[in-house]
Amino acid sequence: MKKILAVLLAMLLVVGCSSKPAEKPSNTDQPEGEKTIKVALLLPYIGDQSYFDIVYAGFQEISAMPNVEAKLIEMGKDNSKWENYYLEAAEGGYDLIMGGNWEAEPSLYKIAKEFPEQKFINFDYSAPEDLPNVYAMTYKCEELGFLAGAVAGTATTTNKIGAIGGMDSPSINDFFGGYITGAQAANPDVKVSFGYVGNFQDAPKAKEQADNMYKSGADVIFHAAGGAGNGLFESASGLEGVWAIGVDSDQSLTFSEKPEIVKVILSSATKNCDKALVRAFNMYLDGTLPFGEKELLGYKEGGVGIVKNDAYNNFFSDEQKAAIEQLEQDLIDGKFDIPQIRLETDNTKWEALKASVQ
């Protein structure tokens, strides 16, 4: 018994230690004489079917470009080792190192300080430092919310829509500030109710809250509640004539085996890390990437978007589609004053905004 256990444990260790072999440089047949650009992307792991995979999708696009030698470095979940990975990458002779996000950016900035000649891109900053060799970008969540609101406001037939958040916090209400603005732009009479789960995991509770919202007359609900938001889709799939809007990525893709859920996901408002990464790389190639600066990417820059899949195309009439496109154009033209709740120091602006749609 003990022996078997020991063998099993040893096998577990072997499986645990062997990681995927490093990706081969994708481009080996570049014409001679042209300079090859070496880029690296550092991520904790890929395969989360959301955030990191989206970033990696952009990176794959980059690696398919001519004269690019691209390498993905998976750092693992142990964040105490991340700094070493950045150090190795900085010593590895890359022209450009991509990495970052709120969790890994301290390591990136530390190494960037030690290697002032090395160029870095932080693909999603939260607390950036001003370094001349780092370009940092992040995404306008309020515009993401706006797009969801524009779709919800156009789709509703009861003039009542809803939103479910994980926490009643400025970073979540940032999405909802945009949501209200977008919904009002599409439908001036719209009423919006809000629910907060209290965490980002309790999907059954999100289902109950969504049930209550639908029963009190709302017919479209958007969520910014992480995993708990899945409860919203479950709730919508059990009722007639109601719709849900997903967040961050095209959420209908994760429910591929549940057609009854896919059909109620009207759309998803997305954070396009992939497009943003490609955009930044193209600017780098043109020599126009402003190192030392940070940028907020909105709809105009392709940093956020809205998914128009089958459910969307079947549901909306041509006029409605045109109306939503007009709102998108107006958003690009900067016609809306969308509040940035995350930058507010107190709640008054958010409370007033909420009261205007009760």
Binding interface with another protein (CB under 8 A) = 47-50, 162, 168, 193-196, 198-199, 201-205, 207-209, 211-213, 215-217, 227-228, 230-231, 234, 237, 254-258, 261, 354-355, 358
C-beta of 106 vs 217, nearer to another protein: 217
Exposure of 352 by Cβ count < 10 A (0-12 exposed, 13-18 middle, 19+ buried)?
A: exposed
Distance between CA 242 and CA 265 in Å, rounded?
Answer: 9
Q: Hey, what are 33's tokens? A: 């004489």
**Whether the Cβ atoms of residue 103 and residue 79 lie closer than 8 Å to each other:** yes
Of 104, 99, 53, 115, residue with least CA distance to 81: 104
Q: What share of the chain is helix, strand, coil (3-state, %, to 5)?
A: 45, 20, 35
Distance between CA 64 and CA 23 in Å, rounded?
Answer: 13
Distance between CA 263 and CA 255 in Å, rounded?
Answer: 10
CB of 21 to another protein, least distance (A): 18
C-beta of 207 vs 271, nearer to another protein: 207
CB of 239 to another protein, least distance (A): 12
C-beta of 105 vs 234, nearer to another protein: 234
C-beta of 122 vs 173, nearer to another protein: 173
Element (H, E) at 245: strand 243-248
**Whether the Cβ atoms of residue 141 and residue 105 lie closer than 8 Å to each other:** no
CB of 47 to another protein, least distance (A): 5
CB of 265 to another protein, least distance (A): 11
C-beta of 216 vs 282, nearer to another protein: 216
C-beta of 35 vs 77, nearer to another protein: 77
R_g over Cα of the chain:
22
CA distances from 137 to 105, 120, 222, 245, 303 (A): 12, 11, 25, 25, 9
CB of 205 to another protein, least distance (A): 7
DSSP character for 162? E
C-beta of 257 vs 286, nearer to another protein: 257
C-beta of 54 vs 280, nearer to another protein: 54
CB of 281 to another protein, least distance (A): 26
CB of 234 to another protein, least distance (A): 5
Distance between CA 253 and CA 251 in Å, rounded?
Answer: 5
**Whether the Cβ atoms of residue 152 and residue 179 lie closer than 8 Å to each other:** yes
Q: Hey, what are 102's tokens? A: 């709120």
CB of 337 to another protein, least distance (A): 23
Q: How far apart are the first and last CA of the chain?
A: 66
